Structures are given as C-alpha cells and as structure tokens.
Amino acid sequence: MKFLDEYRNYKYIFALTKKIDQMVTSPLSIMEICGGQTHTILKYDLESLLPDKVSLIHGPGCPVCVTPVELIDKAIELALNPEVILTSFGDMLRVPGSEGDLLLAKANGGNVKIVYSPLEAVNLAKENPEKKIVFFAIGFETTVPAIARSVILAKNNGIKNYYLLCANMLVPPAIEALLANNQSKIRGILAAGHVCTVMGLEEYEQIAEKYQVPIVATGFEPLDIITGISMVVEMISKNINTVQNEYSRAIRKEGNQNAKKLIFEVFQRVDREWRGIGTIPKSGLHLNDKYSDYDAEKIFEFRSLPKGKKEGLCIAGEILQGFRKPNECVAFGNECKPEHPLGAPMVSSEGACAAYFRYKFKQARSFT
C-alpha cells in the first residue's frame, strides 16, 4: 500500500539498526513519549532489533492513563446526575476512579453517551435543551482544537446547556518534569508526531537546550521509530542537543498556526495533576474567563471524595515515569488484565501495560 508499505520495509529497518550499532559506544536510554509509538515498538518487536546498549523507556504519552482520579470521579458524579448527559470518548469508560468507572455508572442508570467528536456533543445539546450536556474533555494537544471549536460553536449559536469537564494536558511540560527528576536516565527523546503537527517544535527546542538532551519528532510506523532512534543516537555520538524532525511529511516547525490560535482563543494554561506522576506546572488547559460559562466545574457542585486512589499492587506511576516496565509489576498478567485492570495503563488502547499484554509474549509480527 502506497505510503504505508515503505514505512514497514524490513530492509530499510535492518540497515538502520546496523548503523545504530556502529554509532553506539556506551549504554543509553531513549524515551518514546507517545503510547502509539509504544504500541508500534511492541507490535513489531523493534527493541529486539536494536543493539543491547540501547534501551527504550516508555513515557506518559497516554492521556487516558494520566487523567487524574479526581476528574474521573467528577465525570462519574455528573453521569449519575439526572439533569445531565455525560458525553465522552469511549476509551474513558473503563478507567477506574475512586468508586468505580463510567461504565459502572452507566450500568447504574447514569446517562453516558460515547461520542467520536465534541461537535456531536454540541448537537446533542441543541437537540436536548431540557438537559445539560457535559463533554469530558480529555486528550493532549491533538484533540484540543476540535474541543475549542465546539465551545465557540456553542457560543455563536446561543447554546447554553453545553459544558466541558476540562482534563486536557500539554506534553512539553511533562517532558520537562521527567528530565528534571534526579532519577531520570533519559539520554534522548522521541516526541509524538501528531502533537508536534499541531503545536510545532519551538517548545521542544527550549527543552533540548535547557536539559542538553536531543529530541526527535517521529511518526508511528516502524521505520519512523527506527529512523528517529538513529537520529537521536547520531546526535548523542556527536554531542548535539537539539530538535530534529523525522516526521517532516506532517510537521512544520511552527506547527498549525490556525489550530494554535483556536486553542488559545478558548483555553489558558493551568497547573494539572497527572495520574501517577503528580502536579506539573502549566501542563493543563482550562477554559479562560471569556468562555467560563461553559465550565462544568463552575456550574455543578461536587461532593468531596478521598483524594486519590490507592492502586494496591499497581505500579502505574513508576511505569508512566519510565522507571519500571509493565512486566516488572507483580500484578501484570495475574491480578491485572485488560478485562480486570488495576490501573489506567492496562485500560487504554494506548497504555503501555495493554501493549505489553497484547504483544510482549507473542511472536514478533512480520514487517511485510
């Protein structure tokens, strides 16, 4: 298939792994930020093709996995409110909160509807003026332009029963928080191509300079990942700490200016808690004063629940920060499975634990 088969061509991939082997002189760890990249790495068993001195660390690039428990609890409470129709992307329904999840809330009579776009939620508000429609706004920068557009559309059309429960997060502050940690062993980073397509590369350039770590923005096919690793390794070998763009077929340095304008017309940067990691300054987006009438947290009163949720055997926080790998968890594949997850990384289709469960102990897939 044109524009797909060539990115899974094993001849190109093996040629690059040989080049990497020649360049590596000492052990180094590279973190791929995005859960989509993690799934590609596991699906095609890419790490086994790399020299032993190169290890890959899985980052926190799964918005479902890092959405804080408190916001999930609020979403559940809204779903059980008879005045509310809670709308959400489908991958949030099984993420555990303090007292169950949205799927259980739906089973208990909560009004939860899966949507594929926030614009569907706006239409639902228009069609149900007697209800309050809340969209559970999760995701990194890639989902935010459409969410911002939905708020503007509601405002322009005088729709007053549409609200957001804001949980959107920004990737660069999380990268900086990981690099600032004294326990970090990260020598290079593969940045998420779709996020950079929206936001561009300027923030990453500042991070690379500040922490003296090379960063490569990559796509999601096997050749993208291996090429990105090769570019990182080459920069390390030459003591270059800057940002390079492997995913040039989609990314411009300045990003998508129209999308960024839309985002910051509606949202402002705020501190945000990341599940398993903690609060990261200026890593979230929340409605600004101009659009605060659409903020569900200002419209509804929420009951107090114990802060956080004890995960028991689950080591999701360590996995999300790259300190441990999923198969190092004693619950992995035992008490914790996709049909009975203990933590969010086993629930999400982009979660590292789900990737390990699906691919790690199976035969590597063919590239062709």
pLDDT tens sequence across 150-185: 999 999 999 999 999 999 999 999 999 999 998 899
**Structure-token match 């090769």, residue found:** 230
132 inside domain? yes
pLDDT value at residue 2: 66
Residue 212 structure tokens: 């003296």
What's the whole-number average pLDDT of the chain?
93
Which residues are paired to 84 by β-bridges?
A: 132
Q: Provide mean pLDDT across the span 58-84.
A: 95
Over residues 255-271, the pLDDT tens digits come to 999 999 999 999 999 99
- Domain holding 266, by residue range, is 65-170+256-299
The pLDDT > 90 percentage for the chain reads 82
The pLDDT confidence band at residue 348, using thresholds 50, 70 and 90, is: confident
289 inside domain? yes
CATH number for position 104: 3.40.50.11740
Residue 104 structure tokens: 């259980």
Which helix (H) or strand (E) is 35 found in, with range? helix 35-43
265 inside domain? yes
The pTM for the full model equals: 0.92
Contact 284, 141 (CB under 8 A): no
The pLDDT > 70 percentage for the chain reads 95
pLDDT value at residue 276: 87
Strands (E), 89-161: 112-114, 132-137
110 inside domain? yes
The pLDDT confidence band at residue 361, using thresholds 50, 70 and 90, is: low
209 inside domain? no
128 inside domain? yes
**SS3 assignment, position 304:** coil
pLDDT value at residue 1: 54
Q: Provide mean pLDDT across the span 293-308.
A: 84
pLDDT at 363 over 50: no
pLDDT at 252 over 50: yes
307 inside domain? no
Residue 228 has φ and ψ, to the nearest 5°, of -60, -45
Beta-carbon contacts of residue 351 (< 8 Å; ≥ 6 apart): 35, 62, 64, 65, 344, 345
Please give the DSSP secondary-structure letter assigned to residue 97: B
Number of domains in the chain: 1
pLDDT value at residue 349: 78
Q: Provide mean pLDDT across the span 226-242.
A: 97
Q: Lowest mean pLDDT: which of 1-15, 70-84, 122-136, 174-188?
A: 1-15
96 inside domain? yes
